[in-house]
Structures are given as structure tokens and as C-alpha cells.
Amino acid sequence: MQHFHYQDDELYAEQIPLHAIAKEIGTPCYVYSRAAIEENWLAFDNALQHKPHRICYAVKANSNIAILNLLAKLGSGFDIVSIGELERVIAAGGDPNKIIFSGVGKSKSEIQRALEIGIYCFNVESEPELSRINDIALQINKIAHISLRINPNIDAKTHPYIATGLKENKFGIEIENAWTLITKIKNLTHIKLIGISCHIGSQLTELDPFIEALDRILELVKIIKEKNINLQHINIGGGLGIRYHSENPPTTKQYITAICEHLSHSTLEIIIEPGRAIIANAGMLLTRVEYLKCTPHKNFAVVDAAMNDLLRPALYDAWQNILPIKQDIKPDKTLYDIVGPVCESADFLGKDRLLSLLPDDILAIQTAGAYGFSMSSNYNSRPRAAEVLVDKNKFHVIRQRETITDLFALEKIVP
């Protein structure tokens, strides 16, 4: 089902024309479709129905509490990487027992808070982190459940900034050292090893790297089993890619089927941590054309959204589709670079886009639900965009646009 679609030449989110949102809420503005989010989450849940499983949505992809609440109501768990994400999940009604805490730099206070709340497990990324968790658990008299995040040294074939499973990356425990570390856990009185995890990168468009990583992990799981250590789960992380342009990633069903085939002899719970595959295509960023600036070399459409609102094009040279919210019927299309008002040449949202534009036209940047708002900033003292959730024929502002006074509310002039 297409939750964003043209009807009578107008772009809609579910039953709401996007021009109505732009008119009432203004731009830039993120718009999400509730139905799309739910459909994407349920695709994972249905594909995994014959296996014990836990879907822990990666909060970093989009951490708005209204979205976390929708997912919690479906029964989702959450993969978090900071105390901020932990408190968001709790505020959104998430179940602590379905929270997994990942990340290479967990601070003492973050670990303590997570233990007090009673999260399901920590994905441990190094030996010093393991000792720190043990020390804190001892102090507050808790047993910490942990899973070791293994770095299997697999090329995820994705952008180097979002590849995490190679030896040169800071993530996880080298697979060769994993067994030595596991033997040390016996001496840590307040640690219980319950799983093995890995996450080799994001926006993977091929199945092979996932399967290779899983096979390496399974060799380790076999050794653990032979030593009579009982695990509860295997966590295969997130990373399933989506189509932004011409990529052809596996569907959720194909991905899960391939994983389950490799786990057909295992009774362990399967944990997954998808972010992008749940929320990316459920969101668009609306922006208004401020100026058309045509030069002998280039035509620029200067819009009111910028790299501070959507960083992916500037940071990864990422391509995201840009659509007019009124379908072009005029034949006079021109090649434009769609750029923002920020003072950096990296401030572009799309290059060489063939569009028919006039000032004040509204454009929609597609597949912006993941790593869009969550990576936005106030650079150039720009208030962050509003966020709207569409639910059939209604829409709700789930984050107000920041005001100018919000920008410096925490600052102070000194004598």
C-alpha cells in the first residue's frame, strides 16, 4: 500500500493533502504516516512469527515519543544508545524489559540508570565496559544481563561512515578475542551472559554480508553451547537497506526468511534492531521554494529546509527523491540544484533535479523518516522543523516548530 500518493495531481499522506499541512503548520516540516510505520513494523513481526523473537526498534533512526509510543503499542522493544533515548522510551510507554542498550561509550550514570530501570540487556562492546557494568551492578546489588557484540570483520558493502563490522571500526569485540572474554565473565559476580550480538552496518542492500556475519556468530555460539553455557538469544542487529533511488534491497520477508533458514536448528530467541526499514519510507520533509537563482552555469532552487534539517545529502552524499506536492503537468522542466540557506557549499538537498518550479512551490523530500529529524541541528541558528503524524484523515503536530527564543534559552550573558 502506498501511504504517500498522488490523487488528482496532489500529493497526499494517507487521506491528507500535503498542501493542507504546509499551509497550517508551515515549512520545513516532517510528515509521517502512521499506517506506513505500522505496516513496516508488522512486516518484521509477521515474517518472524514462527520463531521466538523480539523486535527492538533502533531509536536513533527517529526518536519522537509519539512514534515510539505507536511502536510500543504494537509490542515493540527498543535499541537505545544513550540515557536520552532510554528516557524517551520510558516517557513513550515502552516496556523496560524490551530495551537493549548498545554503543561503545556507555557512561557510569547511564549504566546505573539502565540497571535501576531494569532493561533487558546491555550489548557490551569492550572488556573495560564489561568490568564497569559489573562494578556498578555490584554497588547497587543487581545482576546485569549482557550480550557480547561481536565484530565479525565483514564488509557490509555500504557507505564507509555507516559500516561497523570491520576490524578497523570502533564497534564490537574482535571475534578472535570473544572466547577469552567469555571465560573471564565467570569471575564477574554481577554479570550474566545471555546472548551474542552483531550489527555490521546500515543501509545494506545485499543479503550476503548479513549471512556471512551470522555464520561467524553461529560458530561462536556453537563453542559456547559445547562449554555448557546457556544463551537466550542471538541478536543480528539492524541494517536492512531501503530504496532511495535505484537500490534493490531484499524485502523484509526475504531478509528474515534468509536469516531464519540459517537459524533453522536454533531454538534461541532472534533479536533484531531495525531502524531505517521501519521509519525511512514513512516520512517526508516538506520545504518551500524561497528563490529561483539561475546563473549561466547552474540553476539553484533555494528552499527553506537545509542541511541542519536533513543532513544525509551533505554528510553521505545521499540521494533522496524530491517531489512537487502538485504534480508537474507543465512541460517546461529545468535542472535545479535544490539548496538550503546555510552558509556551506555542502548545504544541498538534491543535485540536478529536473523540476518545474516557481517561488513558493512546496517540495516533498521522500524517504526522510529515518535519520532526518533525529540528525537535525540548530546550525546557523535555525529553529528545528515541526513534526506531524498523519493518521487516516487526521493529522497531529507531534513536535512543535522550535521558536527563536528556544534557540538561546539555555544561554547566559556574563558580566
User: What's 348's DSSP letter?
Assistant: E
Question: Strands across the sheet with 16-17, in order?
Answer: 4-7, 10-13, 16-17
Please, are residues 137 and 116 in contact by the beta-carbon 8 Å criterion?
no
In the list 134, 203, 308, 376, the residue contacting ligand LLP (rule: CB under 6 A) is 203
Residues 6+ apart with CB under 8 A from 61: 275, 276, 278, 279, 280, 369, 370, 371, 374
Q: Under rule CB under 6 A, which residues in 272-331 are in contact with ligand LLP?
A: 273-277, 312, 316
Name the minimum Å distance from CB 249 to ligand LLP. Answer: 11
- Nearest CB to ligand LLP, comparing residues 134 and 252: 252
DSSP state of 326: B
- Hey, which residues between 361 and 390 contact ligand LLP (CB under 6 A)? 371, 375
Q: Terminus-to-terminus CA distance in the chain, angstroms?
A: 60
Does 202 engage in binding with ligand LLP (CB under 6 A)? yes
- Exactly one of 29, 198, 260, 343 is catalytic; name it: 343
| Residue from 77, 239, 340, 369 in contact with ligand LLP (CB under 6 A) | 239
Piece of the chain touching ligand LLP by CB under 6 A; list 30-38, 237-245, 357-365, 382-390: 237-245
Separation of alpha carbons 214 and 236, rounded Å: 7
Binding residues among 52-111 for ligand LLP as defined by CB under 6 A: 58, 61, 79, 102
**For ligand LLP, which stretch binds (CB under 6 A), given 222-230, 236-244, 286-294, 301-309?**
236-244
- How many CB atoms are located within 10 Å of the residue 128 CB? 9
Closer by beta carbon to ligand LLP, 317 or else 406? 317
Instruction: Please tell me the chain's helix, strand, coil percentages from 3-state DSSP, rounded to the nearest 5.
Output: 30, 25, 40
By CB under 6 A, which span of 126-134, 173-181, 195-203, 217-225 interacts with ligand LLP? 195-203
Kindly tell me which of 21 and 384 has the beta carbon lying closer to ligand LLP: 384
- Return the residues of window 109-138 that contact ligand LLP according to CB under 6 A: none
- Concerning whether 343 is annotated as a catalytic residue, the answer is yes
Nearer to ligand LLP, 134 or 158 (CB): 158
Q: How many CA atoms lie within 13 A of 377 on its CB side?
A: 8
Cβ atoms of residues 37 and 397 within 8 Å: no
**Closest residue by Cα to residue 134 from 184, 84, 65, 92:** 184
Binding site for ligand LLP (CB under 6 A): 58, 61, 79, 102, 162, 199, 202-203, 237-240, 273-277, 312, 316, 371, 375
Give the residue numbers marked as catalytic: 343
